[in-house]
């Protein structure tokens, strides 16, 4: 077993432990491996080990890596987890199975138009700026309900999940709990929260998807 599959096995074992500790079913938590900056040769061993859900941050980088990998490995589910420009909406719809970073109405309009034109509909999650940080993307928590309703009712874009990145240097649990509350009152079942530093906390707060890079791959180059 090489270092990469070792990292993967460790993270999967810790997810199982965290789910168990939280009294949750192991199957309720999916691992999204954040593979930004990692070349295909470092991703392939994880695919060979059975991992199928991956997250990428940039459309162009994903276009360079994933069509080939998707052709080699059936059942890959590719998530867009980085900021998305409206002019890349169509490319993103073509390549990604899930777009986690829906965060403004101009983008929603571009995505709705792209879905119609291409006849392909990925899943969409809304990104919530759960710590109300000015430098971060995402819908403000107090605007989340109306944003989700507008996506559904005005633009025909169903929001199936919520995603957040909590502020650094503060305990993450209250932020994850807040995201879970927003999801619950909007009848949204998918919660994408938790990264290498805090995915066990996120699982305790109800994460259904954790996005982990460094803990699998080691530090990014």
- How many residues interact with ligand PLP (rule CB under 6 A)? 14
Dist. CA 63–CA 58, nearest whole Å: 9
Dist. CA 144–CA 157, nearest whole Å: 14
Q: Least distance from C-beta 51 to ligand PLP, angstroms?
A: 14
- As given in the structure block, the two tokens for residue 93 are 């719809």
Closer of 112 and 159 to ligand PLP (Cβ): 159
Which of 103, 98, 110, 106 has its CA nearest to residue 143?
A: 103
Find the binding residues for ligand PLP in span 123-182 (CB under 6 A): 165
Closer of 114 and 213 to ligand PLP (Cβ): 213
**Sign of torsion over alpha carbons 168, 171, 175, 180:** positive
Closer of 61 and 160 to ligand PLP (Cβ): 61
From its phi and psi, is residue 210 left (phi > 0), alpha (psi between -120 and 50) or beta?
beta
Helix H or strand E segment including 212: strand 209-212
Closer of 80 and 112 to ligand PLP (Cβ): 80
Residue 196 interacting with ligand PLP (CB under 6 A): yes
From its phi and psi, is residue 68 left (phi > 0), alpha (psi between -120 and 50) or beta?
alpha
Residue with the two structure tokens 């199975």:
97
Residue 81 interacting with ligand PLP (CB under 6 A): yes
Find the binding residues for ligand PLP in span 20-79 (CB under 6 A): 34, 36, 57
Q: Which residue is nearest to ligand PLP (CB)?
A: 213
Closer of 206 and 213 to ligand PLP (Cβ): 213
Residue 10 interacting with ligand PLP (CB under 6 A): no
Whether the Cβ atoms of residue 99 and residue 111 lie closer than 8 Å to each other: yes
Instruction: Summarize as ranges the residues that interact with ligand PLP (CB under 6 A).
Output: 34, 36, 57, 81-82, 165, 195-197, 211-215
């Amino acid at each position: 077993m090489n270092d990469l599959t070792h990292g993967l096995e460790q993270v999967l074992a810790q997810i199982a432990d965290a789910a168990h500790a939280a009294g949750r079913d192991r199957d309720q938590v999916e691992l999204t491996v954040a593979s930004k900056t990692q070349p295909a040769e470092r991703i392939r061993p994880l695919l060979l080990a059975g991992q199928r859900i991956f997250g990428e941050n940039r459309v162009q980088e994903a276009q360079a890596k994933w069509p080939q990998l998707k052709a080699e490995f059936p059942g890959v589910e590719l998530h867009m987890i980085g900021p998305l420009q409206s002019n890349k909406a169509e490319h993103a719809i073509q390549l990604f199975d899930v777009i986690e970073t829906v965060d403004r109405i101009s983008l929603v309009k571009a995505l709705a138009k792209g879905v119609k034109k291409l006849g392909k509909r990925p899943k969409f999650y809304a990104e919530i700026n759960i710590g109300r940080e000015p430098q971060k993307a995402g819908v403000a928590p107090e605007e989340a309900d109306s944003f989700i309703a507008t996506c559904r009712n005005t633009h025909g874009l169903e929001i199936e999940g919520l995603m957040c990145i909590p502020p650094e240097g503060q305990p993450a649990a209250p932020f994850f709990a807040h995201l879970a509350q927003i999801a619950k009152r909007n009848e949204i079942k998918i919660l994408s929260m938790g990264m290498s530093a805090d995915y066990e906390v996120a699982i305790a707060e109800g994460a259904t998807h954790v996005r982990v890079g460094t803990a699998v791959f080691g530090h990014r180059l």
